[in-house]
Structure 1
Amino acid sequence: MPAVIVGAVKVTNVGGNGTINVGDVLQIAPKSTNKSNLGGGGGNTGDFMMTNTVLSVTNSFDPDIIDSNNKANN
């Protein structure tokens, strides 16, 4: 289905593995994956951010060995 964009579109940064799609697409598969453990308010990005965090506890225990397999997508 074609995309109809009403208003402004702001793309500030696209990394080497980033994907921007506007319009028809059948499948978008990731070429790389990663995992991050961030506390409360640690991963916020954007214009005019304000975070108020009184207490933050992050559980980073990860017992599984493989989280995401994307070798076939390369």
Structure 2
Amino acid sequence: MPAIVGVAQVINVGSSAIFNIGDVYKMMPISNAKTFAGSGSFNTGDGLSITNYQSSTNTFDNDGADQGNYLNA
């Protein structure tokens, strides 16, 4: 069903983002990232009490290349 859209103002669209107005069958933004974080880095919530005495994050990556995101359907 066709869409009737009024005025739209786009200030910024990220490098791996999709902006669409109207009908669409499939939208597939593609991006990849490698994140290294230490112990307790991604904890969320109210009133957290985290104690990490000695923590280290191993960032050694000996293969040199990771799996790509091509051919993703």
What's the TM-score once normalised by structure 1's chain length? 0.47
Q: Which has the higher contact order (CA 8 A, sep 6+)?
A: 1
Higher helix share: 1
What's the TM-score once normalised by structure 2's chain length? 0.47
